[in-house]
Structure 1
Amino acid sequence: MTFLKALTYVVLGLVSLHIAYAVAHYVVNNASFEPVYAENFEGSDFSKNSRVTMEVCCDHSMELTAPEGETGTAVKFRLQSDDSLIKNSKRSEYRLPAGHFGEEVWYRLRTYLPESWEDTEAAITVFQWHGVPDKLLFEGNRPPPTRLLFKDGDWYIPLGWDTRLLSNPWFELFGERRGTILWSAPAPRGAWEDWVFRITWATDDTGRMTVWRNGEKIADHDGPNTYRDLSAPYLKLGVYVPSWKTQPPDDVAVREMYFDDVWEVYPNKADTLPDDVKALIEAYRAKEASSG
């Protein structure tokens, strides 16, 4: 066998492996279309749902329970700074499959920070929509298009998007990467907060994102709102502190918080909706109509 022929086989093998990896990455991050996901954590083990992927390390990472003094059941996530790495970072989360472009989708999440939750400089992401990089184009992970994060006592909702075909710093043609802070405000302790996001994922002017907090509209964005990928972003929630991977904290080394009523709903594609989901969406649509 000549050197050139051997080199050709090696190159073809590497290309085939890369294509197989890219296809596998796409398949793993996607699932068959389901117009309604609505979890209230009452009377079921949500982690057994085929649409849920757990990203936890330990028995203490996740528990079905309620905050002290509260009734009902929620999911509590706990992250300790000495937990082992999950997906190459410090996290205790669960995630859903990738979403869909060009369709109106409603997300709801309720969050509860305990009274004992302390302020620190480390940024803590409590829910996010994570992009699905196009591995076929050698894209790596990027900051999530949007998320709710806690830092120095405040909530922040940053939004980023990239209209380029290839999200790499050295590829500056055919689009741009931009971002903004949609909203920020102090984060209360010892109380449930209700978050509703109405989103149409897109990398052009058809993109839409409206955010309500406890029934009050706090953000409205028209235009690009994600990366130009084959798949739309997927929802993750829990406790994620990436800085703990390289900088262990010298103060607060444990984080716990609660979630309830996690929804991902495509109302225009659903034949029927659960009564509580239908009532909430109708109420918010009525608010929008009455405000003009």
Structure 2
Amino acid sequence: MPRKTRLALLIFNSLLFAGAVPAADDLTPSRRLRVSDVFHQGEAVLFHDDFRSGRLDSWNFSENDQYELAKPTPERVSVVDAPGLAEGKMAVRMVVQRAPDSFRSEISLPSEKGFQERWYAVRLLIPDEWVFDPAKGDDIVMQWHGIPGNWRPTHPNLAISVANDRWFVRQHFGSPQDKPGRTKVELDEPVQRGVWSMWVIHAKWSPEDDGLLQIWKDGKLMMERTGPNVYGTIGVDYTPYFKTGIYHPEWHLDDERKLTAFEKEMPVATKKIVYVTGVTVGDARMTLEKISPKP
């Protein structure tokens, strides 16, 4: 069998196994929520979800290279009891199994027009069963992404990821047509498995020098940076949209070289799982004290 055919079959079979390719009688319309569907415009708290409803009505879904899904695959994205939290607390559980081209399980909020100043709060759990892998790249667990314009950006404006046992923050901004600006910061604190981390992100999104980014973890300021933090040359002004879950680029097998390496590898980690709850988005009137997740 030609190698390209084998690559296509491996990818299709893995997607079918993972539920990303539905059977003919299971096709459902796609959906894409907009800001007006989920944000409380004019209020200081624009959005909050602690998942106690057991539903994901306020979220968009993406699995592998599929976007605007009408519903997620339950084995990939589901609302469950929040591990280690009080009875009645709920969280969304996102899973990626190691398989050819199985690399993404995420939920996301819509993008907003214009460059807005926003506050975000998120509680996130890297569970005990997470396997630290020093040989592999990052697992992005939170990201703020750009929408396509006259040039399709391929990197999020802001990403918080896990690489081995460390937290990293990456930024991409400026002009994707030319060479965009990039930063990478390793945070001082290691990743603790089985412990909920509480994140607050304050961003004044701007392509100019008046941009601002502040990140707190568990009440401690981990990073502060001024200057541009979005793409400014794609022909549209927008606030990057928030995504969370698992995105593991190493399992995105979009060429033969990656497939060959994947087949030969003796894997250390065969499954990625994260839990998220208490997602809040606030406007410029918000403060650190008001939005910080309570222990």
What's the TM-score, normalizing by structure 1? 0.71
TM-fit CA distance, 1:108: 0.7
**Count, aligned residues:** 230
The structure with more radius of gyration: 1
Is contact 1:81–1:244 with CA below 8 Å preserved after alignment?
Answer: yes
Q: Deviations over 1:234-287 (max 9, x none)?
A: 11000111210224462211111100111122154xxxxxxxx87843779xxx
Q: Does 1:177 align with 2:180?
A: yes
Q: Supply the distance in 2 between the matched residues of 1:195 and 1:34 (Cα, whole angstroms).
A: 22
Q: 1:77 to 1:204 in 2, by over 3 A?
A: same
Counterparts of residues 135-284 of structure 1 (less than 5 Å):
137=150, 139-162=151-174, 164=175, 167-169=176-178, 177-184=180-187, 185-228=189-232, 229=234, 230=236, 231-246=238-253, 247=258, 248=262, 250-268=267-285, 280-281=289-290
Cα separation, partners in 2 of 1:227 and 1:70, compared to 1, 3 Å? same
Letter in 2 for 1:192: W
- Provide the secondary structure at the position in 2 that maps to 1:59: coil
Q: Determine the C-alpha separation between the residues in 2 that align with 1:126 and 1:283.
A: 19
Query: Which consecutive unaligned segments of at least 5 residues does structure 2 have?
Result: 1-31, 64-71
User: Does structure 1 retain, via aligned residues, the 8 Å contact 2:91–2:276?
Assistant: yes
The residue aligned with 1:14 is none
Q: What CA distance in whole angstroms lies between the structure 2 residues aligned with 1:278 and 1:208?
A: 14
Contact 1:100 1:201 in 2 (8 A): no
| Structure 1 residue aligned with 2:49 | 39
Q: 1 or 2, which has the higher helix percentage?
A: 1
Q: Which amino acid aligns with 1:207?
A: G
Corresponding residue of 1:288? none
Structure 2 length as normaliser, TM-score?
A: 0.70
**Separation (CA, whole Å) in 2 of partners of 1:205 and 1:234:** 21
Q: For residues 262 and 83 of structure 1, do their structure 2 counterparts lie closer, same or farther at Cα, with a shift above 3 Å needed? A: farther
Give the AA of the match of 1:48: D
Pick one of 103, 120, 123 that aligns with 1:110.
Answer: 123
RMSD over equivalenced CA pairs, Å:
2.5
Contact 2:101 2:251 (C-alpha < 8 Å) held by counterparts: no
> Mean alpha-carbon deviation: is it higher for 231-240 or for 176-185?
176-185
The equivalent of 1:70 in structure 2 is 85
Letter in 1 for 2:139: I
| Residues 12-53 of structure 1: per-residue CA shift (max 9 Å, x gap) | xxxxxxxxxxxxxxxx685336441111111341x222xx21
**What stretches of structure 1 of length at least 5 have no aligned partner?**
1-27, 170-175, 269-276, 285-292
Q: Secondary structure at the match of 2:156?
A: coil
Offset from partner CA, 1:120-156 (integer Å, 9 cap, x none):
123110010111121xx2x123211111111121110
| Inter-partner Cα distance in structure 1 for 2:223 and 2:40 | 27
Contact 1:199–1:209, Cα closer than 8 Å, also in 2: yes
